[in-house]
Amino acid sequence: MGRPLKIGIYSPFFGSTLGGGEKYLGVTAEAVRDAFPEHQLEMVTAVPVDRGLYERTLNLDLSGINFVATNRRVTWLHRMLNQMPTLRLYRDLFVGAQAVAYTRSYDLFIAMVYVIPIFSQARRSVMLCQFPYPKSKVPRRVPGPIFAAYALPYRVLRRFLLPDDIGCFQQIVCQSQYVRQWVGRYWNRDALVVNPPIDVPGVEPDWGQKQRVILSVGRFFTGGHEKRHDLMARAFRDLCDSGLTGWELHLAGSVHRDGNNARYFESVRQLARGYPIQLHPDAPYGEVQDLYRRASIYWHAAGFEANGNPAAQEHFGMTTAEAMGYGAVPVAIGSGGQPEVVEDGVDGYLWTEIDQLKARTLSLVDNPQARQQMGLRARAASQRFSRQRFVRQIVASLAPLVRQLEEEPAAERARQAQVEH
């Protein structure tokens, strides 16, 4: 076979964000490490990674994987730029451009892409697309006459730094049919759907341990596909004010503490005061598991009032599927990727208006027998998204490219090596 292949897995968010995308990427890294042990694997990130934190929070095993950061540390300048919407597009552009130099050294480069564009110069490249960005548009983040002066240099820089940020990828993999649809619309490319990995418990839920708990799990941040803890807190307050007693709402997730995100978390904390609403900031994996075991109902609201922005919808709904694995009945927003997870009226409920969210929740509150029956169906449905199934599918999607690289003539590989240097 010759020298081992060098495989790189990239994310601009791994190291600074703890969410479903990072779980998807982390399990992909585990799968590549285990399926192709004869080859070298590295994870390339924008900032250094706290390996232990990611393993504890997302139930990952990242042993044997080397980490490379394009920035050695997060400085005050990084934080300042992150809080300035008028400069964020430029920051995103340069974060993506930083990674380009690293791509040249890899035989196979696997990049997770969402918002931040990336161009690859590896011999083969695969994109794990969380959601496609429009190639021809610059989001209008700057008002009025300033926009033209702001957008023009961005377009010039992007064309120079990332000359072909889509065509360089031989394969695009996405999380849902919803995302695949938008890949086709924005990029005129097809994509392979590999649903995210869900840690489905091996044992049946202990229905006797289920409590009067409504749960939602998701990062506390504002902007993008925010999880709308504020909306859920208000809806639960309305239920309590209308007579609901004996039930609690639990909101768990990692907290983004910069700028508006910190103010958002504090606003949710204020909404919770005086009501049976408990927050679980930065909850480790074990605590989240315990909440899933106790929860009878699961709420999901990301994408509500997104004003026609398809990227702001939930791209799949990993936490919804995880809760279903524990027998919690989902009452999830009926948009984005959620209808691919929940079959309305069978293994959960979908809603589009707040009154529907409250009414369907009350129908479960008032009927424990129906709640358990639907919970059993939710548990069975979650098996479609098991971690084992994900590993099989992601390895199958990468194996042909690995074989091509292994079989490529030595002369071609030597030529590529000269180009790299």
| Count of structural domains within the chain | 2
Lowest model confidence (mean pLDDT) among 21-25, 131-135, 183-187: 131-135
R_g over Cα of the chain: 22
Name the pLDDT band for 94 (thresholds 50, 70, 90): confident
Shared-domain flag, residues 214 and 163: no
359/63 Cα distance (integer angstroms) = 47
Lowest model confidence (mean pLDDT) among 42-51, 100-109, 139-148: 139-148
pLDDT digits (tens, 9 = 90+) for 10-32: 999 999 888 899 999 999 999 99
Q: Which of 210, 202, 177 is nearest to 374 (CA)?
A: 210
Shared-domain flag, residues 168 and 219: no
β-sheet with 66-69: strand ranges across: 66-69, 40-45, 6-11, 108-114, 124-131, 171-174, 192-193
Residue 106 lies in a domain: yes
Residue 350 has pLDDT above 50, yes or no: yes
Residue 73 lies in a domain: yes
Residue 371 has pLDDT above 70, yes or no: yes
Q: Under a CB-based contact definition with an 8 Å cutoff, are residues 362 and 294 in contact? A: no
* pLDDT of the residue at 140: 47
Shared-domain flag, residues 236 and 308: yes
Domain that holds residue 339: 207-384
% of residues, the chain, pLDDT over 90: 70
Residue 1 lies in a domain: no
Shared-domain flag, residues 286 and 146: no
Distance of CA 371 to the CA centre of its chain: 29
Shared-domain flag, residues 152 and 25: yes
Shared-domain flag, residues 284 and 157: no
% of residues, the chain, pLDDT over 70: 87
pLDDT digits (tens, 9 = 90+) for 44-56: 999 999 999 999 9
Shared-domain flag, residues 408 and 284: no
Residue 201 has pLDDT above 70, yes or no: yes
Shared-domain flag, residues 327 and 405: no
* pLDDT of the residue at 56: 92
Residue 202 lies in a domain: no
95/91 Cα distance (integer angstroms) = 6
Which tops the pLDDT comparison, 137 or 395?
Answer: 395
pLDDT digits (tens, 9 = 90+) for 286-301: 999 999 999 999 999 9
Q: Which of 416, 412, 383, 400 is nearest to 199 (CA)?
A: 383
Residue 364 lies in a domain: yes
Shared-domain flag, residues 130 and 156: yes
* pLDDT of the residue at 96: 82
Lowest model confidence (mean pLDDT) among 28-32, 158-162, 289-293, 417-421: 417-421
* Average of per-residue pLDDT across 60-86: 78
Name the pLDDT band for 369 (thresholds 50, 70, 90): very high
Residue 322 has pLDDT above 90, yes or no: yes
Residue 248 has pLDDT above 70, yes or no: yes
Q: Where are the alpha helices (DSSP H) in 162-276?
A: 177-187, 229-241, 259-272
The secondary structure element, H or E, covering residue 355 is helix 354-365
Mean pLDDT across the chain: 89
Shared-domain flag, residues 28 and 153: yes
* Average of per-residue pLDDT across 366-377: 95
| Residues in CB range of 296: below 8 A, 6 or more apart | 210, 211, 212, 213, 214, 328, 329, 364, 371, 375
Shared-domain flag, residues 379 and 390: no
Phi, psi of 116 (to 5 degrees): -85, 120
Phi, psi of 99 (to 5 degrees): -75, -20
Shared-domain flag, residues 188 and 305: no
CATH number of the CATH domain containing 98 = 3.40.50.2000
Q: What is the pTM of this model?
A: 0.88
Which tops the pLDDT comparison, 137 or 200?
Answer: 200
- E runs forming strands in 115-258: 124-131, 171-174, 192-193, 213-217, 248-253
Residue 135 lies in a domain: yes
